[in-house]
Structure 1
Amino acid sequence: MNLTIPEKYDPKMSVRETEAAIKYIRDTFQREFGKEMGLERISAPLFVPKSSGLNDNLNGVERPVAFDAQDIPGETFEVVHSLAKWKRYALGKYNFQPGEGLYTNMNAIRRDEELDNLHSVYVDQWDWERVITREQRTTEYLQSVVREIFKIIKHMEHEVWYKFPAAVYHLPDQITFVTTDELEDRWPDKSRKEREDLIAKEYGAVFLSKIGWPLKDGEPHDGRAPDYDDWLLNGDILFWFEPLQRALEISSMGIRVDRDSLKKQLAAAGEEERLNLPFHKALLSDRLPLTIGGGIGQSRLCMLLLGRAHIGEVQAGIWPDDMIEQCAEAGIHLL
């Protein structure tokens, strides 16, 4: 357990006022995000068959919650870690065209998450995906979509300020783009997270790109599954978060792998056996569209806009007893 307690913390709202703010942020952002990004809301699964290859394996070491079903013998089902691959499958199945896209409410269980101010066993986010053309598989297009998302988040700050003026956390006016190798060149002796904190504090909001391939020291900046994001065309949206004195990741996103980058990244990860799974076969045979997509943390966004010190203040979860006690003593009210 790793817990940060801010000095003289004041949530500025009661639990019931906080619940009202959470509902307002979730309802308003979902509506505005779908409208501004041109995305349709669709239903999504809580679990998928293990044999489909549709589950996100994150860094490759996290254990999914798995179970069987009485009337479907011989199959194991996994609670999703995210819908990174399922969304692309859905876009093809529902015949979405370039420029069209979807979003959905994703709920997941990550049993191996290390619990702290930002991480919970329960994950809730808006997962989204848009069909693109091959010509749009560029850094320039990726950055244009990041700016779209930042603009929507910034607009939400004004919406929340109007409704809850005493509670809003103010955001920077623009987002800066930086790559992981640029961070390594600038701070070679710092850890990955220290680099993120330093660059986020300097600019307020950054899009940190090119996550997955090894840096000069032989290790990647962070782990990324090899079969959804193109490691040269992905990244995280980070905000400097004053209450915790650290970078706060709001979104992980990217242009998805095509046939060539899929094979290259699976080979690099030593996981070429995945090429035999249904999802990967469909991608290799061009039966899936080219896409861009990502996830935006619902509880993380509420934390950011309300300046909350713990994700448990904006979502109902499970926490160690000593964490609950320390939070209560500091005025951090866990739901």
Structure 2
Amino acid sequence: MGLILPEGYDPRLSVRETQSAIKYIRDTFQKEFGKEMNLERISAPLFVEKSSGLNDNLNGVERPVQFDIAGIKDETVEVVQSLAKWKRMALKEYGFQPGEGLYTNMNAIRRDEELDNLHSCYVDQWDWERVITKEERNEETLKDTVRTIFKVIKHMEHEVWYKYPQAVKILPDQVTFITSQELEDRYPGKTPKERENLITKEYGCVFLMKIGGELKGGKPHDGRAPDYDDWELNGDILFWFDQLDCALEISSMGIRVDEKALEEQLKKAGCEDRKSLPYHRMLLNGELPYTIGGGIGQSRLCMLLLDRVHVGEVQASIWPEEMRRVCKEHKIFLL
């Protein structure tokens, strides 16, 4: 999208006040989110063995950061790009039951990310996963979970308003559901990103469902790895962001693949070779629990609630010097 510099931008909080607000939002949200969703906080890895098949390959083109470890011979280690598969393994290993789940702080490096107002090479999010029954693998379970997450985010607006009334962004009162095919039918001449912006601007907050499979137009709305989300039971939570005149994705989530969906999606994606990896063998053999899960961007949520125009205002990362200079001239102070 390139760097956007809104005219007359005022952050309304100093850098130190912003740091205090960031801590408050992160501490408060994870506590309320965990309680509302019945999730326990657990520790998670920063890197995994490449041979395990546990790393997320996102859209299939991003290069994970790799290195070796002196004490482990003949093994390549990768910095996680997300914990989508690792969480499901953890639920099994730790004995979680239906209705119970976990959340964790996920930190990742995405070196191929375009650096702009919304994208950083450093990713921080709350990764979460909850065990469900096979009977709960349906659209209503997905929608109910989205409504719960929206309720917690909406409540955070009030919490932030109480402490920082001059800085908080007012959010819509409800979330609207629409599928990627319905969106293509509605705006046939537009790109996927243009469609997202149009529908989110109209409703304020949208959960865009069924991402990954091919649409009538011949292409998927967006890329999704074939081995964690069920493409018929997933989606993104998008909020309209006036400051940048675009939709802001806060969460990508979904009901995870079962044996049947994994077989079908690996075939569609031309990735059937993955069936030999340990994680995929366990899933195909029915050894992993049925789950729903996703990630909620920590910096993105802080951006949204504090109405900030650059993710670098709410996280410390690496930015080109020219971007830092220009942003400072426009009262956009990058940490």
TM-score by length of 1: 0.99
Q: Superposed, which structure 2 residues align to 1:86-235 within 5 Å?
A: 86-235=86-235
d(CA) in 2 for partners of 1:276 and 1:261?
16
Partner of 2:32: 32
Structure-2 separation of matches of 1:100 and 1:232: 23
Give the root-mean-square deviation of aligned CA atoms.
0.6
* Distance in 2 separating the partners of 1:28 and 1:10: 25
| TM-aligned CA deviation for residue 58 of structure 1 | 0.3
Q: Counterpart in 2 of 1:62?
A: 62
C-alpha distance in 2 between matches for 1:136 and 1:116:
39
Q: Is it true that 1:280 corresponds to 2:280 in the alignment?
A: yes
Paired AA for residue 256 in structure 2: R
> Percent sequence identity over matched residues?
73
| Alignment correspondent of 1:301 | 301
Q: Which runs of 4+ in 1 moved over 4 A?
A: none
2 CA distance for matches of 1:318 and 1:99? 39
- Counting only pairs closer than 5 Å after superposition, residues 233-248 of structure 1 correspond to structure 2 as 233-248=233-248
State yes or no: 1:43 paired with 2:73: no
Gaps of 5+ in 2: none
TM-score, length-normalised on structure 2? 0.99
Alpha-carbon distance in structure 1 between the residues aligned to 2:218 and 2:86: 31
Shift of 1:326: 1.3
Secondary structure of the structure 1 residue equivalent to 2:243:
helix
- 1:253 is displaced (CA, Å) by 0.1
Q: What is aligned with 2:19?
A: 19
Q: Indicate the residue corresponding to 1:271 in structure 2.
A: 271
**Secondary structure, counterpart of 2:146 in structure 1:** helix
Unmatched runs of 5 consecutive residues or more in structure 1: none
Cα deviation code 1:121-165 (max 9, x no counterpart) = 000000000000011110111000000000000000000000100
Letter in 2 for 1:287: E
CA positional deviation for 1:291? 0.1
1:239-258 matched pairs, under 5 angstroms: 239-258=239-258
- 2:5 and 2:197 map into 1 onto residues whose CA distance is 17
Q: Deviations over 1:72-98 (max 9, x none)?
A: 001010000000000000001111110
- Structure 1 residue matching 2:255: 3-state secondary structure: strand
- For the residue of structure 1 that corresponds to 2:178, the secondary structure is strand
Provide the secondary structure at the position in 2 that maps to 1:243: coil
Report the equivalent of 1:81: 81
Per-residue deviation at 1:324?
1.0
Whole-Å Cα distance in 2 between the matches of residues 247 and 113 of structure 1? 18
Distance 1:210 1:49 in 2: 30
Q: 1-side partners of 2:182 and 2:7: how far apart?
A: 33
- CA displacement at 1:216 relative to structure 2: 1.3
> Equivalents in 1 of 2:151, 2:322: separation in Å?
39
For 2:226 and 2:7, locate their aligned partners in 1 and report how far apart those are by CA, in whole Å.
41
Q: 2 CA distance for matches of 1:155 and 1:273?
A: 45
**What CA distance in whole angstroms lies between the structure 1 residues aligned with 2:242 and 2:296?**
20
**In structure 2, how many angstroms separate the alpha carbons of the residues matched to 1:115 and 1:209?**
27
Shift of 1:217: 1.5
Per-residue CA deviation, residues 205-231 of structure 1 (Å, 9 max, x unaligned), is 000000000111211000000000000
CA distance in 2, matches of 1:138, 1:158: 32
Query: Residues of 2 paired with 1:314 and 1:306: CA distance?
Result: 9
* SS of residue in 2 equivalent to 1:244: coil
